[in-house]
Amino acid sequence: MKTLGALLWALAAVSTAEAVRRSLSYLCGVCLNGGTSIPSLTTGEHIFCLCADGFEGKHCETVKGVHCYEGVGLYYRGTVSQSESRRTCEEWDADTRERYLSSDINRGRHNYCRNLHYRRRPWCNVWKNQQLVWEFCDIPRCALSSNTLTNLTVSHSVESTCGQRIRRKQMKIVGGTVATVESHPWVAAIFWHSKAKQSFRCGGSLISTCWVLTAAHCFPDSSHKAHHFSVILGKNALNETEQNMEQTFRVEEIIIHEGFDDIEGNFNNDIALLKLEPRHRKCAEESTWVRPVCLPPPWVKLQPGATCEIAGYGKEKYGLWYKSQYLRQAQVNLLADNVCRHRDYYGDMITDNMFCAARPDWSQDACEGDSGGPLVCEIDDRLFLFGIISWGDGCAMEFRPGVYTKVANYNRWIKEKTGLTSIIGGAM
């Protein structure tokens, strides 16, 4: 009986193993283009395919954007294999396939155009004058919708003017342009005061009449005593005062996020609130130069490649001993999360409370002194504060994009601390 039982158990094991093998073989083949089969927890049978980036369909059989690319083409998965100069692309080498293309078509064993290093659009390597060089590919950009963020229509009360501005002609932040405060009327200049002097500390963003949002790291150690700080709104230049435009307030309270820490050197939960002290029972008054920015709805997702704006009074070049005297602005593009978390960028220093942005040619970036300032993106002719300038390695350095606090993660925290009934742009 013992021998027969053992034999039956062995036969059952063989049968089970064969069934598992067949099942695994089926599951591996049902999802195409690097897709992963998601099985049932009870039966082990296939339920659906989790597709790799750039693919869709029941079996991940459909390539998104075959004939064009969106944004800067980070997710382009088409099969164009020709450069702009009509040269045939070379196959990607083994190291590139392993590091960047493991979830691509045939695990990257192809010569199709891709954007692997956050250049301006998809590219490939070609032979030119007996040298292997890279060139952009002959692929059109997809037609743009009204905005490059998730399609969204935001309703506002008639009274709400958050995120609206008046643009003025700009004159020729790192690599950016001098801007007038009318273009960024929510920008706040935060100053620290001692008995002997007043010095500029950080930027910030006006989110309602009495509240400014900024970065927590602007208030290190014991320096966050409210009476040592003031906020000036409507300021074009740090060393000039324009009384008809500017509004100055003492800071009544500084609220730093309870989870803020710099143990890993990455300023996690880098967000703080400043409560302005009213003058004659009033805080900020709306004008051409002073107006709140809208806070982003929590369900909105930023799409990689979307163009947003940053503004601040920071250094115009890394290593300079002085900051810009004038408000400056620059445009940056949002990076995909997996790009910024790649080991060639910042790796595991990036948390879910952060995102990265840069220029495809690395020419524009935030720099020292811009901390706490806004990264705003436009939706339906309004500007939304999606990011707070937080940290980065150097300024406008290749593979070292700016890192921003993800404001949408903190909507509930902002509402709890400020008591604002609506935080998607408080009316003045």
What is the tens place of the pLDDT at every residue in 198-210?
888 899 999 999 9
Please identify, among 117, 136, 155, the residue that sits at the C-terminal boundary of a domain.
136
Of 118-132, 200-214, 269-283, 392-406, the least confident: 392-406
Closest among 385, 386, 379 to 145, alpha carbons compared? 379
d(C-alpha 233, C-alpha 250), whole Å: 12
| 203/16: higher pLDDT | 203
pLDDT for the residue 121: 83
Residue 297 lies in a domain: no
Residue 211 lies in a domain: yes
d(C-alpha 133, C-alpha 118), whole Å: 17
Give φ, ψ of 382 to 5 degrees. -125, 155
- Does 134 have pLDDT greater than 90? yes
Do 222 and 317 belong to one domain? no
Residue 175 lies in a domain: no
Q: Which 8-state DSSP code applies to residue 417?
A: H
Do 380 and 345 belong to one domain? yes
Of 157-171, 175-189, 329-343, the least confident: 157-171
pLDDT for the residue 407: 95
For 185-214, give the DSSP string: TTEEEEEEE-SS-EEEEEEEEEEETTEEEE
Task: Name the pLDDT band for 321 (thresholds 50, 70, 90).
Answer: very low
CATH of the domain at 246: 2.40.10.10
Residue 2 lies in a domain: no
| 89/402: higher pLDDT | 89
Whole-model pTM above 0.85?
A: no
The owner of tokens 């950016």 is 176
Do 205 and 116 belong to one domain? no
**pLDDT tens by residue, 72-92:** 777 788 899 999 999 999 999
CB 228 within 8 A of CB 253: no
Averaged pLDDT of the chain? 78
d(C-alpha 321, C-alpha 352), whole Å: 33
Please identify, among 268, 291, 314, the residue that sits at the C-terminal boundary of a domain.
291
CATH of the domain at 119: 2.40.20.10
Do 246 and 328 belong to one domain? no
Q: Give the count of beta carbons closer than 10 Å to the beta carbon of residue 98.
A: 12
d(C-alpha 291, C-alpha 209), whole Å: 8
Residue 360 lies in a domain: yes
Do 243 and 331 belong to one domain? no
**Domain hosting residue 47, numbered range:** 36-136
**pLDDT tens by residue, 276-286:** 999 988 999 99
d(C-alpha 293, C-alpha 248), whole Å: 18
Residue 110 lies in a domain: yes
CB 233 within 8 A of CB 321: no
Do 124 and 210 belong to one domain? no
Residue 116 lies in a domain: yes
Mean pLDDT of 253-271: 90
Residue 113 lies in a domain: yes
Q: How many domains does the chain have?
A: 3
Residues with catalytic annotation? 217, 270, 371
